[in-house]
């Protein structure tokens, strides 16, 4: 089927007509938009929601979100927002964020992580994604190398959005699926931006001081070489949105803790989305060397991606009271730990019973890296077939590592505990062991 679309005759200005397929969407789109993929994670989550709506018993271990019924935001945050709205604080905030918010976040980061960029180095966005995108746009030209760990959250989509060259640094079970200094060193001459995430989504593992320091050393050596030739340096984007939730005995490490010389080359990303379980409230920020702030503020302003004034005022007041925050973080860690310990114990029981089920010890965040090596038992060849079996036979909804860029049929999956109760986890594990035995 085709329709006749008008075009203009250059000679007499009259309309002519030409045939174009009516379903040819790409004809109307930019090359970037036409090639943009939907998130695999969100596609899986949509299927799960549909099953739940149909009355099926399903544990949604899929999206990295928090159910408000299981993990509420701090009461003070709600109170602060209501007060701001009641006082008619509804006009545009400054593009970089309210001064009192930038001050609160600056003081908190300096105290908690030793990252002191001053209020002028804090740029606020509507969640972590806008400041992440701004970080990439600040440094990357089309054809530059964007390096990222694999598996990791959504980096390959940003490669497409920026026109960058994709440089995956493959993690392994031996490295707890984290990228290594050796892996970065192999590609360092091609890299313009390296993004690291700790605790890592999807694996729930964290860099040690030695591991992160070794990666920083690779960057520092390369940048000294580039300084001599005038080539633009390697910039590190450090995503620490899960930094407040590490297991007991595991310390969150920031690059500046181990290599202060990285200050000029490091952009830190954080947000209340995970640390305050406020994913829908949309407030994140970038901590950046103040000398680089102006172009970011201009970009954020043109994007219009600032959070609403009431949430900014509420967060400013909350982060000015670190003792109250620490109490919230401690309680959140306990609730995460309760769920993780139950998952680990039940999966360990299945492994002891002889089923090909395993996991990587979690160190932070809300994720458990789990292996369902059920290819032989089910007579299947792909992670997707295992995922469908887990969903249909046991009501266990998980995400395969292909959704995080790790191709290959490995049996590795992400389990997220942010939207499930302890009782739901117990019931899901009961269904799973029953399905395995049958």
Q: For every one of its 438 residues, what pLDDT tens digit does the chain have, with 9 covering 90 and above?
A: 444 444 444 444 444 445 555 467 778 888 888 888 777 777 777 777 887 788 888 999 998 889 999 999 999 999 999 999 999 999 999 999 999 999 999 999 999 999 999 999 999 999 999 999 999 999 999 999 999 999 998 898 899 999 999 999 999 999 999 999 999 999 999 999 999 999 999 999 999 999 999 999 999 999 999 999 999 999 999 999 999 999 999 999 999 999 999 999 999 999 999 999 999 999 999 999 999 999 999 998 898 899 999 999 999 999 999 999 999 999 999 999 999 999 999 999 999 999 999 999 999 999 999 999 999 999 999 999 999 999 999 999 999 999 999 989 999 999 999 999 999 999 999 999 999 999
Domain at 75-320, CATH from 3.10.129.10, 3.40.640.10, 2.160.10.10, 3.40.50.20: 3.40.640.10
**CA distance linking residue 412 with residue 172, whole number of Å:** 11
DSSP state of 403: G
For strand 235-239 and strand 15-21, is the pairing parallel, antiparallel, or unpaired?
unpaired
Residues 256, 258, 261: CA angle, nearest 5 degrees:
55
Per the structure block, which two tokens stand in for 423?
């009782």
What pairing do the DSSP bridges indicate for beta strands 191-197 and 235-239? parallel
Beta-bridged to residue 197, according to DSSP, are 239
Q: Could you give the CA distance from residue 66 to residue 276 in angstroms, rounded to a whole number?
A: 10
Domain with CATH 3.40.640.10 in the chain: 75-320
Separation between Cα atoms, residue 356 and residue 25, nearest integer Å: 45
> Around Cβ 341, how many Cβ atoms within 10 Å?
13
Torsion of CA 145, 146, 151, 153, to 10 degrees: -160
Q: What is the pTM of this model?
A: 0.91
Q: How many CB atoms lie within 10 A of CB 363?
A: 22
Could you give the residue range(s) of every CATH 3.90.1150.10 domain in the chain? 40-65+327-437
Number of H helices, E strands in the chain: 16, 15
DSSP assignment letter at 198: S
Question: Domain 40-65+327-437 belongs to what architecture?
Answer: Alpha-Beta Complex (3.90)
Q: How many whole angstroms separate alpha carbon 130 and alpha carbon 304?
A: 10
């Amino acid at each position: 089927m085709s329709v006749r679309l008008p075009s203009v005759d250059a000679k007499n200005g009259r309309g002519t007509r030409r045939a174009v397929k009516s379903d040819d969407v790409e004809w109307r789109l930019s090359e970037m938009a036409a090639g943009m993929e939907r998130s695999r994670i969100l596609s899986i989550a949509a299927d799960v929601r549909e099953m739940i709506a149909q009355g099926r018993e399903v544990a949604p271990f899929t999206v990295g979100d928090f159910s408000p019924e299981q993990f509420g935001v701090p009461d003070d945050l709600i109170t602060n927002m209501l007060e701001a709205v009641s006082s008619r604080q509804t006009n545009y905030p400054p593009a970089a964020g309210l001064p009192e918010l930038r001050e609160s976040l600056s003081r908190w980061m300096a105290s908690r992580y030793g990252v002191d960029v001053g209020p002028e180095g804090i740029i606020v966005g509507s969640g972590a994604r806008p400041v992440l995108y701004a970080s990439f746009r600040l440094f990357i030209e089309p054809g530059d190398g964007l390096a990222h760990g694999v598996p990791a959250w959504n980096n390959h989509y940003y490669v497409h959005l920026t026109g960058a060259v994709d440089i995956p640094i493959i993690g392994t079970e031996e490295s707890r699926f984290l990228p290594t200094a050796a892996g970065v060193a192999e590609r360092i001459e091609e890299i313009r931006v390296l993004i690291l995430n700790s605790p890592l989504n999807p694996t729930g593992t964290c860099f040690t001081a030695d591991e992160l320091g070794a990666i920083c050393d690779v960057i520092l050596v390369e940048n000294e070489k580039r300084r001599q030739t005038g080539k633009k340096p390697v910039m590190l984007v450090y995503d620490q949105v899960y930094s407040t939730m590490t297991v007991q005995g595991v310390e969150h490490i920031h690059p500046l803790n181990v290599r202060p010389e990285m200050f000029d080359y490091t952009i830190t990303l954080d947000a209340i989305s995970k640390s305050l379980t406020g994913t829908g409230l949309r407030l994140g920020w970038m901590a950046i060397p103040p000398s680089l702030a102006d172009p970011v503020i201009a970009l954020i302003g043109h994007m219009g991606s600032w959070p609403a004034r009431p949430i900014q005022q509420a967060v400013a007041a909350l982060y000015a009271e670190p003792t109250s925050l620490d109490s919230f973080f401690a309680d959140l860690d306990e609730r995460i730990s309760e769920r993780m310990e139950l998952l680990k114990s039940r999966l360990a029981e299945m492994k002891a019973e002889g089923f090909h089920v395993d996991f990587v010890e979690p160190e932070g965040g809300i994720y458990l890296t789990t292996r369902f090596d059920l290819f032989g038992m089910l007579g299947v060849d792909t992670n997707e077939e295992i995922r469908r079996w887990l969903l249909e036979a046991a009501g266990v909804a998980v995400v395969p590592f292909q959704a995080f860029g790790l191709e290959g049929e490995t049996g590795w999956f992400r389990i997220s505990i942010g939207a499930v109760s302890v009782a739901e986890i117990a019931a899901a594990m009961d269904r799973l062991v029953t399905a395995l035995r049958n």
